Amino acid sequence: MTQTAPQFNAFTPPRRILMGPGPSDVPERVLAAMARPTIGHLDPAFQGMMEELKTLLRYAFQTGNRLTFPVSGPGSVGMEMCFVNLVEPGDKVIVCSNGVFGGRMLENVKRCGGVPVVVEDPWGRAVDPDKVEAAFKAHPDAGVLAFVHAETSTGAQSDAAALAAIARRYGALTIMDCVTSLGGTPVLIDAWGIDAAYSGSQKCLSCTPGLSPVTFSERAIERVQARKAPVQSWFMDLNLVLGYWGGEGARTYHHTAPINPLYGLHEALRILAEEGIENAWARHRRLHEALKAGLERLGLAFVVPEAERLPQLNAIFVPEGVNDAAVRARLLNEFNLEIGAGLGAYAGRVWRIGLMGHACTAKNVRYCLEALGQVLGRG
Amino acid sequence: MTQTAPQFNAFTPPRRILMGPGPSDVPERVLAAMARPTIGHLDPAFQGMMEELKTLLRYAFQTGNRLTFPVSGPGSVGMEMCFVNLVEPGDKVIVCSNGVFGGRMLENVKRCGGVPVVVEDPWGRAVDPDKVEAAFKAHPDAGVLAFVHAETSTGAQSDAAALAAIARRYGALTIMDCVTSLGGTPVLIDAWGIDAAYSGSQKCLSCTPGLSPVTFSERAIERVQARKAPVQSWFMDLNLVLGYWGGEGARTYHHTAPINPLYGLHEALRILAEEGIENAWARHRRLHEALKAGLERLGLAFVVPEAERLPQLNAIFVPEGVNDAAVRARLLNEFNLEIGAGLGAYAGRVWRIGLMGHACTAKNVRYCLEALGQVLGRG
């Protein structure tokens, strides 16, 4: 006797405008690509696309790193892949914490058996390079510096070039979270000398969530290959993943790649290349200025000081006496507009307005300001 | 100065007939669902769909387990999630190895710091319950039994009910790989008393690859909650994942769920529920019989003894003197037909013909036999 079969209607999602911290709006071209016929992960036609994907990702990351590919999992898996490969039990890691995602890095270091040295900065602020320098002075044996370039929980942008330069002076590798920055604001892996970086498909790349572009320098690969302890994760072990994504030649089966979402990412990256990455950065900057002007007219105050703000993630304080959840519910239900809630210490106190990728348009900026003005009665 | 933007054409995959070990053909309905507008992972509309998904998965697994959900990663991540949560350093685990995926389970046990007790059976054969009983007699302190229900590398099906009963007699939990069985041959989590099971979206469920349905019994959840050591993976820690997928109420952000692929899985599971799971099992059995008769007419020999064969994965020996890769290349290039190569010890020696989900049709059986006959010159 089997269970009675459940009966549900086909799921027809509402059409939203996604101006939260991601996912951002996915263009029709990307959605259409996702619906193309599935083929095998070892099909030569698919493997040709994989090579193009790697080239397109190198462009997005501005790197020549041969080991540049999309991990078959969300950004959190990309993050964990960096840590489980580059941190061995007992390794000292300097971790910068200025928001939720720095905290998650710390958690990863601990679970790998690493010895974290935490550089703490206030939420809403960039990582202070002087503190990082001081941490290396006190712990010159630290082998890795980990920091978040674009803190999605606060909208603060750190000076990745300065941080990576300090790490190199002390002979340490750098792990950088660029989940929210990639495609929206300059991410220059090679120019900055970053050794490992992970991002997400659903932010400024405007693909569906679930893929995590990563890139590793040769120095990082050498570190992995010189490990004494095996990587604790089978799925994330770069030594194994390399057989599938690494070479240009014959590929070894490792796991079944998520075929259709990869079609989507290929198309999303083609769109980025068509626009030109510098134009994409300029668009995010320009429309951030427009949004900022409008938010200030509505009397809304930014969380992050101007010089440290990410254009694509605008964190503003919920005004005194205003019910956070009620406002977001009205925006969603009456305007089909999603903005983000605050995370962690900012829950209930902060809104996060994303201007990411395909959602970063003048029309959306106007629409969001109009909707917010109406709901707040400040129109 | 940024890199020159790469220029690639849109990727238009060929139309294949997928009769390998997965992915299987994805129905148009599922592809169309994947292309619906992306919404947020915390959107109430999305969360309503998540509840339906859980109900549909409980039906597929034939379980009442509240903790039943799709992991945001391929089957290998579902596998690793089971092991990292249920195995603590020093725990003794009986692992049945009769193919590639049993070997991968063993690798997972080791990387969790578990102490494996390996029950070895020949490739192409089911796991021998007597050997498992003997292993428990010799190691009554083993806390977990791990086995593959449907060994995708060989096409052998093991007697999950018998194996789980032994584990229960010795007070051990069971971890079962049902990646290739779910939806194609009976998987009865509750009737068999399985504590943790993982599957894949791209086999008999005929969704795109990249999601891993999992289910955990209350006994398994208690074991996780009673752990002394933290789970070594942040992403796979069930204590954290529970906050997003576990309850019926307010959800905590854990990671960004892969929205569009989940639309696809919802639709794929609706198709399974419409057909009725017993009808799906019967269809796989019936068409396996038709394929078997045809393969035998072509003089092709099965790897697995008849009583232990999986209907949905037909492993046959490459005939003496026939070039494995050349045949598969002709099938792909001239017939757009994908069949699977042998893995590991079977590389070059075995073909694996899948009859999975949407690809399991009378038309495909005829087409595959016709194509194979022509290419082998035995038509």
DSSP string, B134-197: HHHHH-TT--EEEEESEETTTTEE--HHHHHHHHHHTT-EEEEE-TTTTTTS---HHHHT-SEE
B7 chain-A contacts, CB cut-off 8 A: 273
- Residue B252 in this model has a pLDDT that exceeds 80: no
Q: Quote the DSSP letter at residue B246.
A: I
Best mutation site among B234, B236, B281 for testing chain A: the one with the most A CBs within 10 Å?
B234
B17 chain-A contacts, CB cut-off 8 A: none
Asked whether A93 and A114 are in contact (CB, 8 A), the reply is: yes
- How many other CB atoms sit within 10 Å of the CB of residue B151? 33
Mean pLDDT of B345-372: 97
Q: Longest Cα pair distance anywhere in chain A, in angstroms? A: 68
pLDDT number for residue A241: 85
Looking at the structure, give the CATH architecture of the domain made up of residues B28-272.
Answer: 3-Layer(aba) Sandwich (3.40)
- Least Cα distance to A369 among A268, A317, A323, A300 occurs for A300
Listed in order, the ranges of chain A carrying CATH 3.40.640.10 are 28-272
Best mutation site among A16, A30, A34, A203 for testing chain B: the one with the most B CBs within 10 Å?
A34
Integer Cα distance of A376 and B261 in angstroms: 36
pLDDT number for residue B247: 64
- Residue B249 in this model has a pLDDT that exceeds 60: no
Mean pLDDT of B102-131: 98
- Residue B250 in this model has a pLDDT that exceeds 90: no
pLDDT number for residue B352: 98
Q: If you measure CA to CA, which chain A residue comes closest to B111?
A: A232
Mean pLDDT of B255-263: 96
pLDDT number for residue B118: 98
- Residue B193 in this model has a pLDDT that exceeds 60: yes
β-pairing, A92-97 with A115-120? Answer: parallel
- Extract the runs of DSSP E, i.e. beta strands, from B34-111: 67-71, 92-97
Mean pLDDT of B263-283: 98
pLDDT number for residue B228: 96
What dotted CATH number matches A17-23+276-376? 3.90.1150.10
Q: What is chain B's mean pLDDT, rounded?
A: 96
Of the candidates A37, A111, A263, the beta carbon closest to that of B234 is on A111
The DSSP H or E segment spanning A125 is none
Nearest-Cα distance to chain A for B346, in Å, is 14
Of the candidates A26, A111, A209, the beta carbon closest to that of B233 is on A111
Burial class (CB in 10 A: 0-12, 13-18, 19+), A15: exposed
- Residue B244 in this model has a pLDDT that exceeds 90: no
Neighbouring C-alpha atoms within 13 Å toward the C-beta of A368: 30
Mean pLDDT of B148-152: 97
Q: Quote the DSSP letter at residue A309.
A: B
Q: Residue B246 corresponds to which tokens in the numbers above? A: 């576990």
CA A248 vs CA A48, A224, B5, B234: distances in Å: 9, 20, 21, 32
Q: If you measure CA to CA, which chain A residue comes closest to B72?
A: A73
More confident residue, B336 or A240: B336
Asked whether B304 and B154 are in contact (CB, 8 A), the reply is: yes
Q: Residue B174 corresponds to which tokens in the numbers above? A: 């069971």
Integer Cα distance of B122 and B344 in angstroms: 13
CA A262 vs CA A216, A236, A268, A273, B23: distances in Å: 20, 18, 10, 16, 14
- Least Cα distance to A91 among A167, A138, A140, A144 occurs for A144
B34 chain-A contacts, CB cut-off 8 A: 31, 34-35, 260
Asked whether A18 and A25 are in contact (CB, 8 A), the reply is: yes
The 10s digit of each residue's pLDDT in B68-103 is 999 999 999 999 999 999 999 999 999 999 999 999
- Least Cα distance to B7 among A276, A230, A153 occurs for A276
Percent above pLDDT 70 for chain B: 98
Percent above pLDDT 90 for chain B: 94
Q: Give the dihedral sign, CA A13/A18/A24/A26.
A: positive
The phi, psi pair for B339, rounded to 5°, reads -120, 165
pLDDT number for residue B4: 96
Q: What is the pLDDT along chain A (379 residues), one digit of tens a residue?
A: 899 999 999 999 999 999 999 999 999 999 999 999 999 999 999 999 999 999 999 999 999 999 999 999 999 999 999 999 999 999 999 999 999 999 999 999 999 999 999 999 999 999 999 999 999 999 999 999 999 999 999 999 999 999 999 999 999 999 999 999 999 999 999 999 999 999 999 999 999 999 999 999 999 999 999 999 999 999 999 999 887 877 655 677 789 999 999 999 999 999 999 999 999 999 999 999 999 999 999 999 999 999 999 999 999 999 999 999 999 999 999 999 999 999 988 999 999 999 999 999 999 999 999 999 999 998 6
In one-letter notation, the amino acid at residue B40 is G
pLDDT number for residue B98: 97
pLDDT number for residue B243: 79
B11 chain-A contacts, CB cut-off 8 A: 33, 36, 49, 52, 263, 266-267
pTM above 0.80, yes or no: yes
CA A235 vs CA A77, A279, B234: distances in Å: 10, 36, 13
